[in-house]
Structure 1
Amino acid sequence: MLIYHLNNLLILVWAAIFCFHKPSKNKNMIFLFLSFGQLYLLTIFRFLIGYDYVMYAKAFMDLQTQDFWNFTYYDWEYGFVFITKILGMILPSYTSYFAVIAIFTLIPVAIFIYRNTEKVWIGTFMYINFFLFFMQMNFIRQAFAVSITLFAWQFIRKKKFFWFILVILFASLLHSTVLIMIPFYFLAKMRPTGKQVIFYGYALTIFYFSSTGILNLITKIFHQEYNNTQFITEGISLIYAVVPIIILLFTMLNAEKILKLNPDNRYVISMVFAGTFFMIIMARHSILERFSYYFFIYIVLLVPELISSVEKYGFGRVKNNVMLPNETPIEDVKRFKDQSIILTIVILVLSYAMFTYGMFENAHGVVPYTSWIF
């Protein structure tokens, strides 16, 4: 467990050096290179880390011995089987296989953060503290699919449904659960108002009481191996949804200012709403954890945008429905800056507390950390 704490501490050191004082695109790039570089090292040097580690190692070796044109393997999608077969022809071991797959899962996230927020260090901490990094060491196929969906972000913002669908269909060749994003393309257009809260609250209530029947029906058609298993009948601790709910509360209180900062942030808010919805429901059905990641990964943008909005406009609802003037009084500039620092500390402490709790529960099977080099 210590190595994960040291990892976060070192990332904070990089943030202090490159991001706290006079940040720039070049400094952000160096920060992300160092931060994701060490995440990559943790990933490739791991041994038996992740509940699915052995399954993927065995699959790599199995597929090396099978006929190349046989794409049937367990419940894997054809696209991932094909990629594994190709890598099996050129790579000597499953450790090198994990190393190559990690490139495809981590680099898109780093690029996504770099292109879409100036506060890259906060986005990186969110990626780690909300178990997205642990997920890519465990749910390898799905982590690959999640990374591909990030390329659909520009098509969501620009309302290019055709290109969005193409990206999602391509990602579904790696993990079919990504298809859940298609209906949420339309829900993502909702503005962050009380109506959105009511909608998700109503959907949550309905689904909470009828979810078992719905999931058993779905798993009779797709992924039959999950039908009537503990993944359907048992859930994950509701504690994992507490911090996301708090962040959404902060977000709704500052929604107008977040949209003032960037109108496209309504899509970011909607994505995190959807992710939190699944995180609440997964308290009943652990399988829904897999759906949450496609949406909750946008927390790496939401928290930086929330903090930036507070830094520029202050925290809280706009009084009398009038946005603050462009020229903010000096005393307000200092007050807004203090508010943003306090909010940053609160969110980092809360998310890190949840991160630590997750390690005590051995989320994704990542503790104790073991490596094949020692």
Structure 2
Amino acid sequence: MEMIWFALLAVFFNAFMARYFAASTADGPLGIRPNRFYMALGAACLILVSGLRNNIGDTYLYMHSYRVEDFSWSSVLQKDDIGFNLFQMLLKQYTEDPQLMIMLTALVTNALIIIVFCQYSRMIELSLYAYITTGSFIVSMNGIRQFLAAAIVFTATRALLEGKWKIYFAIVIFASFFHQSALIMLPIYFLVRRRAWTLTTMLLLSLGILIVVGYNYFSSALFSIIENTQYSGYRSFQEGGANVLRVIVFVIPLVIAFLGKDKLRRLFPGGDVIVNLSLVGAVIMIISTQNWIFARLGIYFSLYQLILLGWVIKLFREKDQRLMYIAFIGFYFLYFFYENVIVLDIRYASDYIRWPF
């Protein structure tokens, strides 16, 4: 975990400096452009720690598969998620080392996420701090293909906010070639492009609660639908539900956003869409308390919640913002320690970097 702690400190510091030395701009909702030098340093820390690992989640399986698979055109075309397999086929023309595949995936995933944060997160250091402390960074090293797809979809944020559905749909469909679950974001376009905290909000939350109460019926129907797809194996998934504490962590920013909804609309005109995306993610997290596999879908929405986290401090009175900033840092630090050290006991390993270097 030492390298993860190092990444947390280095990324937060550089992102804070990037905002401190930001330049004014009339482009976008922020009014500022984070300093590129410090953002590049922060991004490099994330990418190197992620890209040089050889464990965490499915990393070993991806590396083993890269070594032994025959990525011929015939095999690639027969498999699902053709985009990722095509990427591996092309890469294997140049190297047999799977570490480069891990590095390039980490580079693209984290770079895309940081670029969008720079455009839409008012306090980018908090978004990146939460990216690590809420576990999203570690999940990106586990569900490699799906998080890559989520990062690609994330780049369509501007198209989503501006109602450019052709661009948005094209990006989502492209992302689905890396993980088919990205297609869930197509109907989401029509659901979230509306004012937050309306009847739709209540219906969404009610739906989540109803699914939890009637989970046995819901799961039977869902798994029957996906029975003949690549996700049919999830029917036998028996690792229990997501931690309730994770759901609480996901919901807290939404509670603050609700209490400060009018101020958020003044500060961030596109905030309603981001709030609605976070709400959908919260509903999915509520459902995932019954079966953890549903939290996988939450990956697509967690990134928007991180944008929201970059605004919540600004919703408090100015005299309270410093205290809430410190409280934010402390709360997410404790959650990160509990979840990843006490509960999951995450161990980081690399053939290239070791603490203390």
**TM-score, length-scaled by structure 2:** 0.88
Change (3 A) 1:12 1:155: closer
What's the secondary structure of 2:229's corresponding residue?
coil
Change (3 A) 1:77 1:15: closer
Give the structure 2 partner of residue 148 of structure 1: 152
Tell me, yes or no, if the aligned pair for 1:28 and 1:114 is still in contact at 8 Å. Answer: no
Tell me, yes or no, if the aligned pair for 1:219 and 1:226 is still in contact at 8 Å. Answer: no
User: Which amino acid is the alignment partner of residue 348 of structure 2?
Assistant: Y
Deviation readout 1:115-159 (Å, 9 max, x if unpaired): 223422122112112222112211110111011101211121111
Give the structure 1 partner of residue 207 of structure 2: 203
User: Which amino acid is the alignment partner of residue 98 of structure 1?
Assistant: I
Asked if residue 257 in structure 1 is aligned to residue 263 in structure 2, the reply is: yes
Distance in 1 between residues matched to 2:303 and 2:7, nearest whole Å: 20
Distance in 2 between residues matched to 1:132 and 1:224, nearest whole Å: 22
Give the structure 2 partner of residue 180 of structure 1: 184
User: Which amino acid is the alignment partner of residue 330 of structure 2?
Assistant: V
Asked if residue 371 in structure 1 is aligned to residue 350 in structure 2, the reply is: yes
User: Which amino acid is the alignment partner of residue 71 of structure 1?
Assistant: V
Q: Percent identity?
A: 20
Tell me, yes or no, if the aligned pair for 1:126 and 1:299 is still in contact at 8 Å. Answer: no
Pick from 294, 298, 312 the counterpart of residue 292 of structure 1.
298
Pick from 89, 92, 97 the counterpart of residue 96 of structure 2.
92
Give the structure 2 partner of residue 332 of structure 1: none
Asked if residue 68 in structure 1 is aligned to residue 73 in structure 2, the reply is: yes
Asked if residue 351 in structure 1 is aligned to residue 332 in structure 2, the reply is: yes
Deviation at 1:96, TM superposition (A): 1.2
Distance in 2 between residues matched to 1:16 and 1:177, nearest whole Å: 34
**TM-score, length-scaled by structure 1:** 0.85
Give the structure 2 partner of residue 19 of structure 1: 19
Give the structure 2 partner of residue 222 of structure 1: 229
Deviation at 1:94, TM superposition (A): 0.4
How many residues were matched structurally? 342
Distance in 2 between residues matched to 1:6 and 1:29, nearest whole Å: 21
Deviation readout 1:328-362 (Å, 9 max, x if unpaired): xxxxxxxx322222222223322222222221356
What's the secondary structure of 2:241's corresponding residue?
coil
Change (3 A) 1:192 1:26: closer
Tell me, yes or no, if the aligned pair for 2:113 and 2:155 is still in contact at 8 Å. Answer: no
Change (3 A) 1:186 1:95: same
Deviation at 1:72, TM superposition (A): 5.5
Change (3 A) 1:103 1:17: closer
Deviation at 1:182, TM superposition (A): 1.6
Deviation at 1:274, TM superposition (A): 1.0
User: Which amino acid is the alignment partner of residue 240 of structure 2?
Assistant: E
User: Which amino acid is the alignment partner of residue 5 of structure 2?
Assistant: H
Distance in 2 between residues matched to 1:290 and 1:134, nearest whole Å: 13
Identify which range, 86-95 or 212-221, moves more after superposition. Answer: 212-221
Give the structure 1 partner of residue 29 of structure 2: none
Pick from 101, 120, 144 the counterpart of residue 105 of structure 2.
101
What's the secondary structure of 1:70's corresponding residue?
helix
Q: Which runs of 5+ in 2 are unaligned?
A: 24-31
User: Which amino acid is the alignment partner of residue 179 of structure 1?
Assistant: L
Deviation at 1:42, TM superposition (A): 0.8
Distance in 2 between residues matched to 1:286 and 1:97, nearest whole Å: 28
Deviation at 1:29, TM superposition (A): 1.9
Identify which range, 80-89 or 23-32, moves more after superposition. Answer: 23-32
Identify which range, 212-221 or 269-278, moves more after superposition. Answer: 212-221
Distance in 2 between residues matched to 1:253 and 1:6, nearest whole Å: 35
Deviation at 1:234, TM superposition (A): 2.6
Deviation readout 1:178-232 (Å, 9 max, x if unpaired): 111122111212322253442122111222213311331233032244242125x
Asked if residue 120 in structure 1 is aligned to residue 124 in structure 2, the reply is: yes
Give the structure 1 partner of residue 10 of structure 2: 10
Give the structure 1 partner of residue 44 of structure 2: 37
Give the structure 2 partner of residue 170 of structure 1: 174
Deviation at 1:112, TM superposition (A): 0.5
Deviation readout 1:248-280 (Å, 9 max, x if unpaired): 111100011101112211011011111111112
Change (3 A) 1:361 1:280: farther
For the aligned residue pairs, the C-alpha RMSD in angstroms reads 2.2
Q: 5 Å matches for 1:132-147?
A: 132-147=136-151
User: Which amino acid is the alignment partner of residue 55 of structure 1?
Assistant: L
Give the structure 2 partner of residue 330 of structure 1: none
Change (3 A) 1:230 1:93: same
Distance in 2 between residues matched to 1:214 and 1:360, nearest whole Å: 36
Identify which range, 1-10 or 164-173, moves more after superposition. Answer: 1-10
Q: Which runs of 5+ in 1 are unaligned?
A: 316-335
Tell me, yes or no, if the aligned pair for 1:52 and 1:138 is still in contact at 8 Å. Answer: yes
Distance in 2 between residues matched to 1:121 and 1:94, nearest whole Å: 31
What's the secondary structure of 1:217's corresponding residue?
helix
Distance in 1 between residues matched to 2:127 and 2:117, nearest whole Å: 6
Q: Which has the larger radius of gyration?
A: 1
Deviation readout 1:253-309 (Å, 9 max, x if unpaired): 00111011122110110111111111121111111111001011112211222223x
Give the structure 2 partner of residue 329 of structure 1: none
Pick from 311, 314, 320 the counterpart of residue 339 of structure 1.
320
Tell me, yes or no, if the aligned pair for 1:274 and 1:296 is still in contact at 8 Å. Answer: no
Give the structure 2 partner of residue 244 of structure 1: 250
Give the structure 1 partner of residue 308 of structure 2: 302
